[in-house]
């Protein structure tokens, strides 16, 4: 046990959801007779859920600031429809249509952010209004008829990376290259951190846990590289999955490493205290809502790409899927807690449940019931843990200060 | 927090990988600008490949106990619930392994269901789409995996992945609805001119505009010569459409039409695209204190059969689900025996290719012919008492 802790770096509880996800995948793989862990099913999992996970990234930030956004589904549907319409009726090239659609998303976000931050209307009300406005808008501009999207967009919603290079590898070389570089980067970052932490703290961590970590991490990346790379010829790690990975890296960095990210957590944890310590609460609210609708537009585009057409009821109920992912990922209803990576795990739990139950032939009715129970259980588990001596909000927020005091920014040390 | 850190490193690593890949894009392809075009070409190549294998397969058929997937839009109306049960029984009676699922009227859910059927190794997938034009990429994926996709009841548009569609002729259905409305008006409401209103189905369903078009081909001449008067002036399909075939939306529209245009007029007839909407229209008329207008319908739902028998709803058009399911299973059997798709009755362009359509004739049911119409349907015959 001690050795395991040393490898994973203490706090095994943090891994609960990851372990639950792994267990789900294994159980479904057994009950479905090996149909869960296949190249094509994992490709489907990513292509089919990327849009919800993209929404969940933005929704996490909204929930962390203590608000909620009910309009994301409608905004996604609206911007997707605008894109299809300008491409068909105004003959815009596909990339221009995409830009118009993203601009619509930003404008929608600015609209919601304005009501929330400048006029102080609660986010729930603001976005409930937005939900109706944009849903009505989609139906209005589309005249309730689905509109085919430019065919190039299919690549974003359901496409694969190109095949190239030697054939002896037996897999998609784009995927293979991604995997190799990911493993190399993992090793490099781990080793660098090891030496750096030794220099900073003076205590020397033994080298073997680092080696085991690189071995384990590399093994997992290698396995998934193999899984995604050896599907039907012409398939690879799916493009929507790649878009998602890039977004996750960007938003993980924003929320964990930048001043704006710290402001989001500060405002969500204690708005007045944040305001008193010089955080611009209004600006934080505004930007978070703006960002949410921007991501909603992007999700709408990815979905339209996958569907090959924009429909009048696109986006119905997506906000609830995104919210569920965030809470299963351990965010707090009161705000201030939650991370992008845990949200992704939460979203994948939902996605794997969906896919596994469908493979077993369980109907949509019972799937809903099961997902409801999972949501309740996940949140209840989290609440129970917190009530029994988990770390405080500040402790969860700034745990690195204990290890690397010299790296902390002035704002960070204030909160300790 | 440590886990997050570890994961973050992993993610960072992936980003580096991505960046590197983009960087060397020029190296692996002669012309960088073909990067976006490449996938399209690839899919095209795949499709031709898939078609070849399918042709080969058509000659050989597949094993008798193969898995057949059936993806239905939802179970919210009687005809879909019947289809759900009949597909299970008829496919299993024919010796197949059936996976029948319904998508709760949500497009993403249906996309995922079809993908899980591909995973489950289905040889044929029957699709009653939520939205006929939004399944493009998953159906092409199915076709690429050598699966035959058959549309059920609704056309599958905007995709090359479909082989044929089994449905009742929807223009014909519309014509029958229009004619039934005219006959009913002459029979029950005396001399014209008659005040009527028009309702259409769910716009996302490609059949709905065709029902409306068929009905208007009968009604428009009578509107032009003044026999029929559409008091609200709403004669455009988009004005008359009922989003998602939702009865409550139709009832709300009828309520506002009646209060807005019929305060001092009597309404004589209403064109309704299906039975649920017909009952919503009748209920709204009763609540507004009107005499029940002549209303058309579709699907012969149990409740409407009772209403026709008791004289509240004038007519419906029966599209017997067992005939439709039977025809579909017949095609699947022909594929299994290696005889390929039977010759279609007509071809319709779905935006990407010509799709063979197998059309079945619908049947108008009024109180006068109800007994004969349901002679082979003990469930519905029981209602006529």
Question: What would the pLDDT profile of A362-371 be if each residue is shown by its tens digit?
Answer: 777 788 889 8
Closest CA to A357 of A344, A368, A343, A345: A368
Residue A335 DSSP code: S
Q: What is the pLDDT of residue A5?
A: 67
> Measured between CA atoms, how close is B385 to chain A, in angstroms?
35
Q: What is the dihedral of CA B289, B290, B296, B300, to 10 degrees?
A: 30
3-state secondary structure chain B: CHHHHHHHHHHHHHHHHHHHHHHCHHHHCCCHHHCCHHHHHHHHHHHHHHHHHHHHHHHHCCCCCCEEEEEECCCCCHHHHHHHHHHHHHHHHCCCEEEEEECCCCHHHHHHHHHHHHHCCCCEEEECCCCCCCCHHHHHHHHHCCCEEEEECCCCCCCCCCCEEEEECHHHHHHHHHHHHHHHHHHHCCCCCEEEEECCCCCCCCHHHHHHHHHHHHHHHHHHCCCEEECCCCCCHHHHCCHHHCHHHHHHHHHHHHHHHCCCCCCCEEECCCHHHHHHHHHHHHHCCCCCCEECCCCCCHHHHHHHHCCCCCEEEECCHHHHHHHHHHHHHHHHCCCCCCCCCEEEECCCCEEEEEEECCEEEECCCHHHHCCCCHHHHCCCC
Give the A:B interface size as CB pairs under 8 Å: 219
Q: Which CA distances in Å does A28 have to A32, A34, B120? A: 6, 8, 13
User: Is the C-alpha dihedral spanning A289, A294, A297, A301 positive or negative?
Assistant: negative
pLDDT for A11: 56
Smallest CA–CA separation between B74 and chain A, in Å?
9
For B322, counting Cβ atoms within 10 Å of its Cβ (0-12 exposed, 13-18 middle, 19+ buried), the class is middle
CA dist list (Å): B86 to A331, B94, B149, B187: 45, 12, 19, 37
Do A197 and A406 touch, CB atoms closer than 8 A? no
Task: Read off φ and ψ for residue A172, nearest 5 degrees.
Answer: -70, 120
Residue B49 neighbours by CB under 8 Å, 6+ apart: B144
Residue B163 to chain A, least CA–CA distance (Å):
18
Shortest Cα distance, chain B CAs vs residue A248, angstroms? 8
Between CA A30 and CA A23 the distance in angstroms is 11
User: From the CA atom positions of chain B, what is the Rg in Å?
Assistant: 25
Residues 6+ away with beta carbon under 8 Å from A109: A75, A289, A290, A291, A292, A293, A294, A296
B342, β-bridge pairs: none
**Per-residue pLDDT tens for A143-200?**
777 888 888 888 888 888 888 888 788 888 899 999 998 999 889 988 888 888 888 8
What per-residue string of b and e applies to A279-293 under the rule 16 or more CB within 10 Å gives b?
Answer: bebeebbbbbbbbbb
Residue B332 has pLDDT above 50, yes or no: yes
**Chain B residue with minimal CA distance to A357?**
B116
Residue B229 dihedral angles phi and psi, to the nearest 5°: -125, 115
Distance, CA of B35 to CA of A76 (rounded, Å): 27
pLDDT of residue B316: 94
With CB atoms and an 8 Å threshold, state whether A146 touches B134. Answer: yes
Express each pLDDT in A317-355 by its tens digit.
899 999 999 999 888 888 888 999 999 999 999 999 888
Which residue out of A8, A16, A44, A143 would a mutagenesis test of the B interface target, given it has the greatest number of B Cβ atoms within 10 Å?
A44
**pLDDT at residue A390, as a whole number:** 52
Dihedral of CA atoms B256, B261, B266, B269 in degrees, nearest 10, equals: -60
Hey, are the CB atoms on A306 and B111 less than 8 Å from each other? yes
B9 and A221 within 8 Å at the Cβ level: the answer is no
Pick the CATH number of B170-319+368-373 from 3.40.50.410, 3.30.460.40, 1.10.357.10, 3.40.50.2300: 3.40.50.2300
pLDDT at position B248 is: 83
Q: Are A264 and A61 contacting, i.e. CB atoms less than 8 angstroms apart?
A: yes
CA gap A213, A323 in Å, rounded: 32
Nearest CA in chain B to A47: B112
Q: Is the peptide bond before B193 cis (omega within 30 degrees of 0)?
A: yes
Q: Give chain B positions within 8 Å (CB) of A314.
A: 107
User: Which residue among B15, B137, B351 sits closest to A306, beta carbon to beta carbon?
Assistant: B137
CB nearest to A44's CB, from B13, B115, B144: B115
- Look at residue B263 in the predicted model and tell me its pLDDT: 83
Q: Which residues pair with B197 in a beta bridge?
A: B270
In the structure, what pLDDT confidence band is assigned to residue B17 with cuts at 50, 70 and 90? very low
Cα nearest neighbour of B28 on chain A: A164
Average model confidence (pLDDT) for chain B?
Answer: 83
| A119 pLDDT higher than 90 | yes
Q: Could you tell me the end-to-end alpha-carbon distance of chain A, in angstroms, rounded to an integer?
A: 31
Asked if B108 and A400 come within 8 Å (Cβ–Cβ), the reply is: no
With beta carbons less than 8 A apart as the criterion, state whether B87 and B330 touch.
Answer: no
Cα separation, A102 vs A302, in Å, equals 12
CB atoms B28 and A162 under 8 Å: yes
pLDDT in tens, B121-133: 999 999 999 988 8
Average pLDDT for residues B259-275, to the nearest whole number?
A: 91
Identity of the residue in B17, B120, B141 whose CB atom sits nearest the CB atom of A185: B17
Residue B58 in contact with partner chain A when CB distance is under 8 A: no
**The two structure tokens encoding residue A326:** 């965030």
Output the 3-class SS for A26-60: HHHHHHCCCCCCCHHHHHHHHHHHHHHHHHHHHHH
Minimum-distance CB partner of A177 among B21, B42, B243: B21
Per-residue pLDDT for A388 more than 60?
yes
DSSP conformation class of A204: P
- pLDDT above 70 for B7: no
Task: Tell me the pLDDT band of B38, cut-offs 50, 70 and 90.
Answer: very low
List Cβ neighbours of A404 (8 Å cut-off, separation of 6 or more).
Answer: A197, A200, A201
| Range of A234-238, B169-173, B217-221 with top mean pLDDT | B217-221
List B168's β-bridge partners, or say none.
B360
Give how far Cα B217 sits from Cα of A226, A259, B168, B348, B371, Å.
59, 66, 18, 19, 29
Nearest by CB to residue A148, choosing from B107, B243, B351, is B351
Nearest CA in chain B to A46: B112
The per-residue pLDDT for range B88-127, each reduced to its tens digit, is 999 999 999 999 999 888 899 999 999 999 999 999 999 9
pLDDT at B78: 83
What is the Cα–Cα distance from B161 to A303, expressed in whole angstroms?
A: 19
Instruction: List the one residue out of B107, B159, B103, B151 whose CA is nearest residue B128.
Output: B151
- What φ, ψ does residue A410 adopt, rounded to 5°? -55, -40
Percent of chain A whose predicted confidence (pLDDT) is above 90: 49
CA gap A280, A116 in Å, rounded: 14
Q: What is the model's pLDDT at position B43?
A: 44
Q: Is the pLDDT of residue A208 over 60?
A: yes
Q: What is the pLDDT of residue B162?
A: 93
Task: Tell me how close the Cα of B117 comes to any Cα of chain A, in angstroms.
Answer: 7
- Say which residues have a Cβ less than 8 Å from residue A367's Cβ, sequence separation at least 6: A353, A354, A357, A358
Q: Looking at residue A399, what is its pLDDT?
A: 47
Helices (H), A202-280: 208-229, 239-257, 259-269, 271-276
For B:233-262, CB contacts with A below 8 A are 238, 241, 243-244
A249: nearest CA partner in chain B: B11
Q: State whether residue B204 sits within 8 Å of chain A by CB.
A: yes
The minimum CA-CA distance between A385 and chain B, rounded to whole Å, is: 15
- A interface test, pick of B6, B24, B30 with most A CB neighbours within 10 Å: B6
Q: Mutating which of A185, A215, A319 best tests the B interface, going by the most B Cβ atoms within 10 A?
A: A185
Residue A407 has pLDDT above 80, yes or no: no
pLDDT at A13: 58
Interval A26-50 mean pLDDT:
88
pLDDT (tens digit per residue) in B47-63: 444 444 444 444 578 88
Residue A231's pLDDT is: 83
CA–CA distance, A164 with A158 (Å, rounded to integer) = 19
Q: Which residues pair with A382 in a beta bridge?
A: none
Mean pLDDT in residue range B318-326: 90
For residue A315, give the 3-state DSSP assignment. Answer: coil
**Domain locations along chain B:** 60-162+321-360, 170-319+368-373
Place of tokens 């862990």: A37
Give the 3-state secondary structure percentages of chain A, helix then strand then coil, rounded to 5.
75, 0, 25
What percentage of residues in chain A have a pLDDT greater than 70?
A: 89
Q: Lowest mean pLDDT: which of A67-76, A286-295, B27-36, B274-283?
A: B27-36
What pLDDT, on a 0 to 100 scale, did the predictor assign at position A412?
Answer: 39
How many angstroms separate the Cα of B303 from the Cα of each of B84, B299, B308, B312? 19, 11, 9, 11
Assessment of whether the complete model's pTM goes beyond 0.80 = no
B131 touches chain A (CB under 8 A): yes
The pLDDT assigned to B22 comes to: 42
Report the pLDDT value the prediction gives residue B31, as an integer from 0 to 100: 35
pLDDT score for B203: 78
CATH homologous superfamily of B60-162+321-360: Response regulator (3.40.50.2300)
CA distance between the termini of chain B: 71
């Amino acid at each position: 046990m001690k050795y395991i802790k040393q490898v994973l770096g203490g706090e095994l509880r943090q891994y609960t959801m990851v372990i639950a996800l792994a267990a789900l995948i294994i159980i479904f793989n057994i009950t479905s007779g090996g149909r869960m862990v296949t190249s094509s099913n994992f490709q489907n999992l990513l292509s089919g859920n990327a849009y919800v996970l993209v929404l969940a990234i933005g929704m996490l930030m909204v929930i962390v600031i203590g608000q909620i956004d009910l309009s994301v589904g409608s905004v996604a549907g609206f911007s997707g429809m605008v894109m299809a319409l300008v491409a068909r009726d105004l003959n815009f090239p596909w990339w221009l249509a995409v830009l118009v659609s993203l601009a619509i998303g930003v404008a929608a976000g600015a609209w919601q952010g304005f009501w929330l931050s400048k006029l102080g209307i609660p986010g729930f009300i603001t976005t409930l209004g937005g939900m109706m406005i944009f849903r009505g808008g989609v139906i209005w501009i589309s005249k309730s008829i689905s509109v085919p999207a430019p065919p190039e967009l299919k690549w974003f919603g359901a496409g694969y990376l190109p095949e190239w290079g030697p054939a002896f590898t037996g897999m998609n070389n784009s995927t293979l290259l991604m995997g190799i570089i990911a493993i190399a980067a993992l090793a490099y970052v781990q080793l660098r951190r090891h030496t750096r932490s030794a220099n900073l703290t003076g205590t020397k961590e033994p080298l073997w846990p680092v080696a085991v970590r690189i071995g384990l991490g590399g093994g997992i990346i290698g396995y998934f590289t193999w899984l995604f790379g050896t599907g039907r010829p012409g398939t690879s790690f799916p493009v929507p999955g790649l878009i998602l990975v890039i977004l996750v890296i960007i938003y993980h960095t924003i929320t964990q490493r930048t001043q704006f990210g710290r402001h989001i957590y500060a405002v969500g944890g204690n708005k007045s205290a944040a305001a008193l310590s010089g955080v611009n609460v209004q600006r934080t609210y505004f930007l978070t809502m703006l960002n949410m609708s921007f991501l909603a537009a992007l999700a709408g585009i990815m979905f339209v790409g996958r569907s090959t057409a924009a429909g009048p009821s696109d986006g119905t109920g997506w906000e609830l899927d995104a919210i569920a992912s965030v809470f299963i990922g351990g965010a707090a209803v009161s705000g201030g807690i939650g991370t992008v990576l845990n949200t992704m795990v939460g979203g994948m739990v939902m996605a794997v449940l969906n896919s596994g139950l469908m493979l077993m032939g369980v109907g949509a009715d019972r799937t809903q019931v099961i997902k409801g129970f999972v949501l309740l259980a996940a949140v209840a588990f989290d609440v129970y843990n917190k009530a029994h001596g988990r770390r405080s909000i500040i402790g969860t927020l700034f745990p690195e200060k204990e290890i690397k005091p010299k790296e902390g920014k002035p704002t960070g040390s204030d909160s300790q | 927090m440590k886990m997050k850190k570890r994961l973050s490193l992993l993610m960072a690593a992936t980003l580096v990988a991505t960046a590197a890949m983009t960087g060397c894009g020029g190296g692996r392809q002669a012309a960088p600008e073909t990067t976006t075009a490449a996938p399209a070409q690839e899919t095209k190549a795949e499709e031709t490949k898939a078609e070849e294998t399918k042709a080969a397969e058509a000659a050989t058929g597949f094993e008798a106990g193969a898995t057949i997937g059936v993806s239905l839009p939802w179970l919210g109306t009687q005809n879909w619930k019947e289809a759900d049960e009949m597909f299970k029984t008829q496919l299993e009676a024919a010796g197949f392994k059936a996976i029948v699922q319904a998508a709760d009227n949500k497009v993403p859910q249906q996309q995922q269901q079809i993908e899980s059927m591909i995973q489950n190794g289905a040889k044929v997938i029957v699709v009653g789409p939520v939205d006929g034009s939004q399944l493009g990429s998953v159906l092409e994926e199915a076709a690429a995996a050598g699966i035959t996709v058959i549309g059920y009841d609704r056309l599958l548009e905007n995709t090359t992945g479909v082989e044929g569609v089994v449905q009742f002729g929807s223009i014909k259905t519309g014509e029958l609805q229009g004619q039934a409305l005219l006959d009913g008006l002459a029979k029950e409401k005396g001399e014209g001119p008659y005040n009527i209103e028009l309702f259409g189905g769910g716009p996302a369903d490609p059949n709905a505009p065709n029902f409306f078009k068929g009905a208007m081909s009968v009604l428009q001449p009578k509107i032009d010569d003044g026999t029929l008067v559409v008091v609200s002036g709403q004669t455009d399909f988009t004005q008359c459409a009922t989003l998602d075939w939702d009865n409550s939306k139709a009832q709300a529209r009828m309520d506002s039409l009646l209060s807005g245009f019929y305060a001092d007029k009597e309404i004589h007839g209403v064109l309704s695209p299906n039975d649920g909407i017909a009952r919503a229209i009748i209920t709204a008329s009763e609540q507004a204190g009107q005499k029940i207008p002549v209303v058309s319908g579709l699907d012969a739902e149990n409740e409407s059969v009772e209403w026709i028998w008791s004289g509240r709803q004038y007519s419906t058009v029966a599209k017997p689900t067992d005939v439709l399911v039977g025809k579909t299973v017949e095609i699947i059997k022909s594929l299994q025996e290696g005889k390929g798709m039977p010759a279609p009755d007509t071809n319709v362009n779905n935006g990407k290719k010509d799709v063979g359509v197998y059309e079945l004739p619908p049947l108008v049911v009024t109180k006068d012919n109800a007994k004969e119409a349901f002679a082979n349907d003990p469930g519905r015959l029981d209602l006529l008492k």
